Amino acid sequence: MRQSRTLITFGEAGNKRLDYLKAFRTHAHYRDNQAMLRRFSDWASLPLEAITPEMVRSRLIELSQELGNHNANRHHCALTAVFSQALKDGFINRNPCYGLPKFPVEKTIKYIPPREHISQVLLSVNALDRAYLTVIWLTGARVREINRLTWKDVDFDGRLIRLWTRKKKNGNRTCRQVPMVSEVERALKYAWEQRDKNSPYVFTNPKTGKAYDYRDKFIATACKRLGIPKINYHDFCHHTASTLAQKGASLTDIQKILGHERATTTDHYLQSLGESVRRAMGLLEQDTTESTTKEKEAVEHKS
């Protein structure tokens, strides 16, 4: 006898997806998806199977007009994941998001702050915040890796720090080791002198006595005060990656330092031309120069 499927509403499916993200992904990823799924809250009581591709398409077009194509595509991904999980769990037999194209997005050149702007920001904040930003900048770390950094993962003798992240497909916490450059060592030693002795974290929120969640205002305030373009935490990482590439570090080594699973992600961070590309264009320049020289000699010979 064929067993009938359990009916489930969109709201229930959305909560199941959020429960999964809370258990297996970062808090930031969970929170972002929670905010995006609120945009579909009027579907909460609808049976999941009642939601059609046309309904999804119409809502995404509305979001595109309101928020722009890039943000509409992010909502597309969040919504697709809700239906994909329900499909995998056997609640539905089709995903109404499948086959719906993403909106076109114009690729822009990522702003990479020059060294002098980073130095200005560092000099404009207090000493402990300067240490915090220095560690983020010169390790290529994600901000939450530094927010969750504990003293047991700081090895002054070996001049290494261990960074932990959940930014992996299976949600497992994974570790990578990053060598300490001298400026990072000095910053961490200062943080040690100023540490909260009741907290395991290198940088502790003085208001809560716990790890920071996300600090986004004090850099923006500093940039505004200095009259320079806004810098965010990712910009520090982009600057580090670009500097390493310009100094001749291999893509593989940069990938390991940044903790990227895919080299394509690292390549996205590198907007500077690699030496191999420059050498290739150098060959073209050499050929053009040689051809031009021969043409001039031929003209001079005829005359």
User: How confident is the model over 138-156, as a mean pLDDT?
Assistant: 93
Q: Per the confidence metrics, is the pTM higher than 0.75?
A: no
Q: What does the alpha-carbon distance between residue 158 and residue 86 come to, in Å, rounded to a whole number?
A: 47
pLDDT band at 2 (very low <50, low <70, confident <90, very high): very low
Q: Does 144 or 72 have the greater pLDDT score? A: 72
Both tokens of residue 31? 């929170």
* 48 DSSP assignment: G
Q: What does the alpha-carbon distance between residue 295 and residue 41 come to, in Å, rounded to a whole number?
A: 71
Both tokens of residue 165? 């992240």
CA angle 105, 106, 110 (to 5 degrees): 115
Pick the CATH number of 115-269 from 3.40.718.10, 1.20.1110.10, 3.40.50.720, 1.10.443.10: 1.10.443.10
pLDDT at 271 exceeding the cut of 70: no
pLDDT at 150 exceeding the cut of 90: yes
Q: What does the alpha-carbon distance between residue 253 and residue 283 come to, in Å, rounded to a whole number?
A: 27
Domain boundaries in the chain?
A: 10-88, 115-269
What phi and psi values does residue 280 have, to the nearest 5 degrees?
-60, -45
Q: What does the alpha-carbon distance between residue 69 and residue 64 come to, in Å, rounded to a whole number?
A: 5
Q: What does the alpha-carbon distance between residue 173 and residue 223 come to, in Å, rounded to a whole number?
A: 33
